[in-house]
């Protein structure tokens, strides 16, 4: 099938590449000429495990191409995916300007029946806006071509995006157009070969499903973080509590890990966008308001521990920090808790030496010229002379360090662990003062 993907970011690139992998003829468009130049020259502008090899394979096979030419891309695909960003507006609602611009360019260049598939996360009712924008463009040039609107929200997780796209839990397709339904079924058939995993519904329910899923997951995280904070004060261990509740199949083990608050490009903005949508319709989502408030507070949970230990004047203190990306296996720094922690420490007069396996270049881009912040190219490189180590992201490479060596390198054997990577009993044996989340601290 001939496919166009408008927007070649995390979602667009993964979508386009995975569809090419199953033999489709895919053209990926972006307005960012630099991104397209990198792709055309054989590079990949983002880090996503497995993506680079898959792009190379499909480009070599002639099934995957990249362009900035809007007319060429609209003319190319019978199916046109919109995978542009939907960042928060000033009031937190989803800014639809990129989605509407993409819809208008489709309307301006459409040359026959097209299925327009919205993959971006968009508020309920956006399908109607996309339809109106395209119809308006068609009318302006007296073009009578028909088209269908589909909502096909994306549920991939950065860091496991290829696996999620190739083996989805479910594929949600919202449309009232039978031709579009058939085309989408054929397109996704190879991805759901042995299982009936395509869920057809109306456009509005599909749009709502994406926000509902992210809001539910964010709620689990915030609730677990609050239970962790309480466990810590009450002398309980959240890791044992987690196992104790996760074993109930009604609760399940997923998404029960306490930490430094959720970040990234989706949960914070999608929670806010859903709240604004509700407000616009006179409904208050009280649970979600609390989720957001709890998450905001949780981003300072390590900072609070640091201040309790060192006082709030951190002048002259130097910290090593492991993990900049908002989660492992990605270089995404959008809304990353590390940014809040680093900013606070620098403002209080401390210096920070940070390491992340892949996100340093992105950190340098989003935190340019932050005085007092330096980077090291390995976990050990940032340890020397540090008053403490702060762990913010649970990369696998951080899980089994040489504690004896760490103890020698750090000025103080002191770890603030925002991801509960280590067993407190082991830390005691290794001679570390250790501050986990929701568990009892180890003092020397
Ligand atoms: P991104 O920011 O990485 O990529 C968006 C791309 O669209 C950018 O490269 C931008 O230059 C391009 N673009 C903007 N306007 C354009 C236009 N008119 N024509 C062509 N290209 C245009 O964003 P990301 O992370 O891929 O997210 C895209 C959408 O998917 C968002 O709505 C997001 O909420 C949703 N989503 C993101 C997930 C993620 O893990 N990143 C997961 C599931 C959904």
Quick one: pLDDT at residue 193? 82
Q: What is the mean pLDDT of residues 304-315?
A: 96
Confidence class of residue 195 from pLDDT cuts 50, 70 and 90?
confident
Confidence class of residue 379 from pLDDT cuts 50, 70 and 90?
very high
Give me the catalytic one of 19, 266, 386, 437: 266
Q: What is the pLDDT of residues 166-193, one digit of tens each?
A: 999 999 999 999 999 999 999 999 999 8
CA dihedral 43, 45, 49, 53 (to 10 degrees): -20
| 442 DSSP 8-state letter | B
Alpha-helical (H) ranges within 299-419 are 301-310, 337-347, 360-366, 403-409
Count of CA atoms in the C-beta half-sphere (13 A) of 206: 25
Looking at the DSSP bridge assignments, the partners of residue 172 are 199
Domain extents for the chain?
2-201, 211-296, 299-435
Q: What is the mean pLDDT of residues 108-115?
A: 96
CATH class of 2-201: alpha beta
Ligand 1 proximal residues by C-beta, below 6 Å: 6-12, 29-32, 35, 83-86, 98, 101-102, 120-121, 154, 156, 158, 265-266
Closest atom of ligand 1 relative to the 161 alpha carbon: 40
Quick one: pLDDT at residue 196? 83
Contact, 76 vs 4, CB < 8 A?
Answer: yes
User: Hey, CA dihedral for 393, 394, 396, 401, is it positive or negative?
Assistant: positive
Q: How many helices (H) and strands (E) does the chain have?
A: 17, 14
Enter the CATH code of domain 211-296.
Answer: 1.10.1040.10
| 190 DSSP 8-state letter | G
Biggest alpha carbon–alpha carbon distance for the chain: 78
Quick one: pLDDT at residue 353? 98
Is 266 among the residues known to form the active site? yes
Q: Which CATH superfamily is domain 299-435 in?
A: NAD(P)-binding Rossmann-like Domain (3.40.50.720)
Residue nearest atom 2 of ligand 1, based on CA coordinates: 85
Contact, 55 vs 17, CB < 8 A?
Answer: yes
| 397 DSSP 8-state letter | G
- Do 299-435 and 2-201 have the same topology in CATH? yes
Q: What is the pLDDT of residues 329-339, one digit of tens each?
A: 999 999 999 99
Candidate from 4, 6, 12, 156 with most ligand 1 atoms within 8 A of CB, to mutate: 12
DSSP 84-136: ----B-TTSSBP-HHHHHHHHHHHHH--S-EEEEE-S---TTHHHHHHHHHHH
What is the C-alpha separation between 85 and 73, in angstroms, rounded? Answer: 18
Q: What is the mean pLDDT of residues 225-244?
A: 98
Q: What is the pLDDT of residues 17-60, one digit of tens each?
A: 999 999 999 999 999 999 999 999 999 999 999 999 999 999 99
Quick one: pLDDT at residue 151? 98
């Amino acid at each position: 099938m001939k496919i166009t993907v408008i927007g070649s970011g995390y979602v667009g690139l993964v979508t386009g590449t995975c569809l090419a992998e199953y033999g489709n003829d895919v053209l990926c468009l972006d307005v960012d000429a630099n991104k397209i130049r990198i792709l055309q020259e054989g590079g990949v502008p983002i880090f996503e495990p497995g993506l680079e090899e898959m792009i190379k394979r499909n480009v070599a096979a002639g099934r995957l191409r990249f362009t900035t030419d809007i007319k060429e891309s609209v003319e190319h695909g019978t199916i046109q995916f919109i995978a542009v960003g939907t960042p928060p507006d000033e009031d937190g609602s989803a800014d639809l300007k990129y989605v509407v611009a993409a819809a208008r360019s489709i309307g301006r260049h459409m040359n026959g029946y097209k299925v327009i598939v919205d993959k971006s996360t968009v508020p309920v009712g956006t399908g109607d806006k996309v339809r109106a924008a395209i119809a308006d463009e068609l009318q302006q040039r007296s073009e009578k071509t028909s088209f269908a609107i589909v909502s096909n929200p994306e549920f991939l997780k950065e860091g496991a995006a290829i696996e999620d796209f190739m083996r989805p839990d479910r594929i949600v397709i919202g449309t009232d157009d039978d031709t579009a339904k058939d085309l989408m079924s054929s397109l996704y058939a190879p991805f759901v070969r042995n299982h009936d995993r395509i869920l057809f519904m109306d456009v509005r329910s599909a749009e709502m499903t994406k926000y509902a899923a992210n809001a539910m997951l964010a709620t689990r995280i915030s609730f677990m973080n609050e239970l962790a904070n309480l466990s810590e004060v009450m002398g309980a261990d959240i890791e044992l509590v987690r196992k104790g509740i996760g074993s109930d199949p009604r609760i399940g083990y997923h998404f029960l890990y306490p930490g430094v608050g959720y970040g990234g490009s989706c949960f914070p903005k999608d929670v806010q966008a859903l709240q604004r949508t509700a407000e616009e319709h006179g409904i208050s989502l009280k649970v979600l308001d609390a989720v957001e408030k709890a998450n905001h507070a949780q981003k300072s949970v390590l900072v609070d521990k640091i201040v309790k230990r060192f006082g709030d004047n951190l002048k002259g203190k130097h910290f090593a920090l492991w993990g900049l990306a908002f989660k492992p296996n990605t270089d995404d720094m959008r809304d990353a808790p590390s940014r809040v922690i680093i900013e606070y420490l620098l403002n209080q007069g401390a210096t920070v030496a940070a390491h992340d396996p892949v996100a340093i270049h992105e950190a340098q881009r989003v935190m340019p010229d932050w005085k007092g912040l330096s980077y090291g190219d390995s976990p050990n490189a940032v340890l020397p002379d540090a008053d403490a180590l702060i762990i913010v992201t649970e990369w696998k490479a951080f899980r089994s360090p040489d504690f004896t060596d760490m103890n020698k390198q750090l000025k103080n054997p002191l770890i603030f662990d925002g991801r509960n990577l280590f067993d407190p009993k082991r830390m005691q044996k290794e001679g570390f003062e250790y501050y986990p989340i929701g568990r009892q601290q180890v003092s020397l």
